[in-house]
Amino acid sequence: MIYLYKFYRNCDRIIIGWVYKTKEVQMSTEQEIKNAITRLTFLQLHIQNFAKQSFSDLSFQIEVVVKDLLNVLENADYVNVNRIKHNHPAIDLLDEKQRIAIQVTTDASMPKVKHTLEMYKKHSMAYDKLIILGFIKKTNAKSPSPFAKIVGIEYLLDKIKSSNYETIQKVNDILQREIPLHLLNPLDDVMCLEIVLGIIDRNAVRDLTRSEGDYGDMVVGLKKIKEVIHTGRIYGKSIRAKSLSEYQPDIREKLEEIEFSISKIIQIYNRAKNQSSSPTFIFLDSRERQDIDDCKQEIADLANQLAKDQGINKEIKVG
């Protein structure tokens, strides 16, 4: 009886654990789907804002994003024919195995649809299906050809909504890789940078080691700078800026250099702390103090150059 009791108790634990795990995966899937929809909608908005420019003037090719998404969502094998032949007529994507061709455009209006069909016939294309995808908008009129289907962004959104957890993770990986995050964040780079530079301009950076009252306080201050650089926030403070990955590449590169110099200071402190016999007293020799002062000057120089490059009236002085 005891063995049976233990057996059933273990079964209960397994079942309960499975139920909780299932709910956890379900919630994670729902969140990943929301993230994907948000990113794709942001992308649509960005393209809409630049619709007056040439499609190729965008910093990324939307047909590449559509190709990668469909290959994951449909387990397909689309290729970008424009990479095989520049300005390929009528179509942008092609899956030879399924014999499906896709034209990706910002506006699948009826004139655009008719022009695509004319070019399709002119070049004697004969695939089983032609999909004309209007990423921003599309005509509501019926397709003039039985083999051609006119769709909008909902064609992708509907597939995303019905995806499983593994698929939607791949979708988000694609969107994160292909879409420059600094374009999707409504916060302005310069405005956020001013906030970060204001946090850098504090005693933890400005004061040389000869003026430091407590090395522990210095490290606390430096860690807050690292936090605001990486996350755009400081725990417990009403500060809101971009995270490191959301800045333009040139700004992100300089912030990474600043963060690296801060990390060097913290490493020097931690090494001295580990070697100290006292839990409250940290001794730094002359070489360690000089290394820290050099890093502080590096941080100030990098921050000042960054401010100058972005037209920000800010100068951090170390002394």
Name residue 203's amino acid.
N
Separation in Å, CA 241 to CA 112, 185, 228, 245, 253: 42, 10, 8, 12, 17
| β-pairing verdict for 100-108 and 129-138 | parallel
215-237, pLDDT tens digit by residue?
Answer: 889 999 999 999 999 888 887 77
Domain spanning 184-309 has what CATH number? 1.20.120
| β-pairing verdict for 93-95 and 148-151 | unpaired
The Cα–Cα gap between 262 and 200 comes to 10
180-213, pLDDT tens digit by residue?
Answer: 555 555 567 888 899 999 999 989 999 999 887 7
15-50, pLDDT tens digit by residue?
Answer: 444 444 444 445 577 888 888 888 888 888 777 776
Q: Which of 11-15, 74-78, 228-232 has the highest mean pLDDT?
A: 74-78
Full-model pTM:
0.53
- CATH 1.20.120 segments of the chain: 184-309
